[in-house]
Chain A
Amino acid sequence: MQPTQKSKRRFVPYKLISPAFLVVFTLSAYCLFWLISISMSSWRFGAPIESAAFVGLGNYKWLLFSKDSLFWVSLKTTTIYTLGTVTAQLLLGLLIALLFNRIRYGRALYTALLLIPMVLMPSMVGLVARMYFYDKGLVNYFVELIAGMRVNWASTNYALISAMLVDIWEYTPFFIVILSAGMQALPQDVYEAARMDGSGGAHLFFCITLPLLRPLIITALVLRLMESLRIFDVIYTMYAGGPGTATTTLPLLIYRQTMVAHNAGTGSAISILLILIIFVLSLVLMFMFERARKTLSEGEGQ
């Protein structure tokens, strides 16, 4: 009797999550199927779907190998954007979270204030930032006060940087909130033991805080990386991908190809490539997460 009941029980969680899983999976699978089939056809958005011609991997070949394709240029821009913003956000977030943890009074108020940038609508942030970064805008006013000259933020060299600055401003609070919550949950006895052994300051941070926070940092990184790779609103409202193609990240390229140029086939092919990139990256990070968790629990076991 008992073993069967036990094995029956083993399936309960699977049964319980199956409706949610089915809905999510079928919806995304259906869309993904369509996306893949359109990415293998030459279809002008707006023409009847019957006019789509099957071209196999032609769109992918053009994207990856044609000298007219903007895929690699765009991938480079996306990589710079994502690595730059997420690294800066993580470092700043860690630093501020450390300071944040020393605040004794009114932490809730500070947390609420910090969340404001994240609550704002990204496209509004972009529109306002566009004005701040005008030649005679607010940012240049301060730059001129300090450096004595204005920066042409809308030029090829600085457009991407200014968009990244806005992103960093908007999403650093995400890391601050998550990491400071994590720091508060850390076991205090470990610190006490380490202090008794004579370590302090930087040593405590690098040998205890950081390793213990690793799973949390990786989770936050996965979320931010995925979001950053899909960034659209801020860049689009600030620079629309220009000047030239200086701020054309992959999502902007997808939008331009599909909705502006009406090349649904090429646009879908870029989407698939972007999904693959995000998928592989998340796999790597989740693998790291699992490893970090394992080392932690092994450490606890000892």
Chain B
Amino acid sequence: MKRILSLCLAAMLLLGTLVGCAPKEVAPVGNEADISGYDLNDFDQWCEAMKKLYSGSSVTIAAASHPSTTAFRAISAEFTEKTGIEIVWDEMQEGSLQQKLLMEGGASAYDVVMTCPEFIPSQVEMGGLLELDDFINDKSLVPAWFDYEDLMEAYRLMLTYGGKQYAVPFAGETVFLMYRADVFEELNLTVPETMEQMRQTAMELKQLKPDSAGMSMRLQLGWEFCYMYSCFMFPFGGRFMDPETNKMDMNSNGNRDALEYINSLLPYGPAGIENYSFEEAWSAFMSGDALMMVEASAAAPEIENAEKSVAAGKTGYAKMPAGPAGAYSGVWGWGFGITSSSKNKDAAWAVIAYLTSKQKQNEYVANGGIVSRASMLMDEGEQAKYPYYSAIIETLEQAAALQAQGYGVVLPLPEWAGISDVVGTVGARALVGEISVDEALESMQSQTESMFAN
């Protein structure tokens, strides 16, 4: 056993020198042998070992203001106490984070950055992010209590670029259907399983409960419209791009059907839905103004918060209804990546492993973090406590089915910001009738094509 361990350690150190990084600088050579006596699969011993190796070093994290960040900050004091590695949090708004990372390029002052599917391509192209596969494939760096494989596959896949892993997911969301189970029972309605049924149900809800709306979702111009549109596009057989030829394909019949379908839901939405951001969409449902909602699963904890929501305890959750081309949904979320300019790469990995580990999962979720592990989502006790867990699993399967075909609601391209803005702006214009659906599709196609002209 010891021999295997020391072999692993030797491999790790070799790796460390190969990527030209930390152990040499933070841990003098004399320390190398010291941790061979520790069983790294034992959580406490791992902490001791890390203390030996990296005590006194500090890891700076660039983070967006997010419930996960708050949760991580709550549990990071204990980490510092146990390992002697200091964590410096630099928390900022999501928009500022992206701009900062873009401007820093390949010379980041941070060790760890919070990143998401649309940041990664640009970061990688600029040489700002470290490929994590070497860490992940090294058994000594992925101890049993970390359990990397337990992180939902759809979440892990969304943080890859060119087949390589660039971040470890810790918060994910998917888009599913939320409905007022009490109203459905009262009106004797069934949970829609197809898009057509969903439109029908929205219409009936609006007719039978004229004071409320039948459907809520985010439709504001820009990325919000684009996100929602992409969740409807695949079930109708549309797509952004042909994954084989890498040619834009925004003008197909499937895309047209999806756009027309979203437009046809508008009369059943609350007044002003055409400019709803996700906050307004959620609050419409939480205040009882809307009786169905297609939105991100991140809304579920808010909905179940009885202090904020009249729908708490009365909401049913279901996977995305199927369209003519199948049932698909999107997946999106945050992960931790290591910057290629970090001087503490190994200590940074230790921080990531600790914070996102299975060992710390319960504490993280209890502090407001977002569940992202299969073990917790599938746990029957947890499922009884959180009624949306099983719907999340089912919807993530829909999302994984989409990923398996090479599609996703975010295109892994550095040009994605521009594409998403074009789709979200032109689509929102068609929604309010500034231009026709056909004009919108044509405009999306020609504008995105021209981005790749040179």
Contact = CB atoms under 8 A, between A and B. Distances in A.
A47 B432 contact: no
Given A68-B447, A153-B272, A155-B274, A244 B99 contact: no
Q: Is the interface of B mostly helix, strand, loop or mixed?
A: helix
Contacts of A159: 275
A155 B420 CA distance: 23
A245 B428 contact: yes
B418 A244 contact: no
Interface in B67-96: 95
B250 interface: no
Contact of A240 (B102, B220, B415, B433): B220
Which 7 pairs across A and B sit closest by C-beta, in order of nearness? A154-B272, A261-B421, A244-B432, A46-B102, A243-B275, A243-B274, A135-B271
B414 A47 contact: yes
Interface in A82-101: none
Interface in A239-281: 239-246, 248, 256, 259-263
Contacts of B245: none
Contacts, number: 102
Count chain B CB atoms within 10 A of each CB in A53, A68, A156 and give the residue with the most. Answer: A68
B125 A47 contact: yes
A44 interface: yes
B122 interface: yes
Contacts of A240: 220-222, 275, 277
B346 to A, nearest CB: 28
B203 interface: no
Contact of A261 (B271, B417, B434): B417
Interface in B232-267: none
A132 interface: no
A68 B277 CA distance: 24
Interface in A21-71: 42, 44-48, 53, 67-68, 70
B434 A245 contact: yes
B105 interface: yes
B370 interface: no
A150 interface: yes
Given A68-B447, A261-B418, A242 B126 contact: no
A241 B428 CA distance: 11
A159 B447 CA distance: 27
Interface in B164-196: none
B443 interface: yes
Interface string B400-438: 000000000000001101101110011011011110000
Interface string B202-234: 000000000000000000111100000000000
A141 interface: no
A215 to B, nearest CB: 42
A73 B432 CA distance: 15
B45 interface: no
A46 B122 contact: yes
Contacts of B414: 44, 46-47
Contacts of A68: 426, 443, 446-447
B454 interface: yes
Contacts of B272: 134-135, 152-155, 243
Contact of A260 (B415, B417, B434): B417
Contacts of B95: 259
Interface of B: 95, 99, 102, 105, 122, 125-126, 220-223, 270-272, 274-275, 277, 289, 414-415, 417-418, 420-422, 425-426, 428-429, 431-434, 443, 446-447, 454
Interface of A: 42, 44-48, 53, 67-68, 70, 73, 134-136, 150, 152-156, 159, 239-246, 248, 256, 259-263
B222 A48 contact: no
Contact of A156 (B289, B421, B422, B434): B434
B446 A239 contact: no
A245 B425 contact: yes
Contacts of A53: 454
Residue with the greatest number of chain A CB neighbours at <10 A, chosen from B122, B414, B425, B443? B425
B126 A47 contact: yes
A7 B422 CA distance: 61
A104 to B, nearest CB: 46
A70 B432 contact: no
Contacts of A152: 271-272
A67 B443 CA distance: 8
A260 B221 contact: no
Contact of B274 (A150, A244, A263): A244
Contacts of A246: 432, 434
A75 to B, nearest CB: 15
A280 B431 CA distance: 36
27 contacts: A42-B454, A46-B102, A46-B417, A68-B447, A134-B272, A154-B272, A154-B274, A155-B272, A156-B433, A156-B434, A159-B275, A240-B220, A241-B221, A242-B274, A243-B272, A243-B274, A243-B275, A243-B432, A244-B428, A244-B429, A244-B431, A245-B221, A245-B425, A245-B428, A246-B432, A259-B99, A261-B420
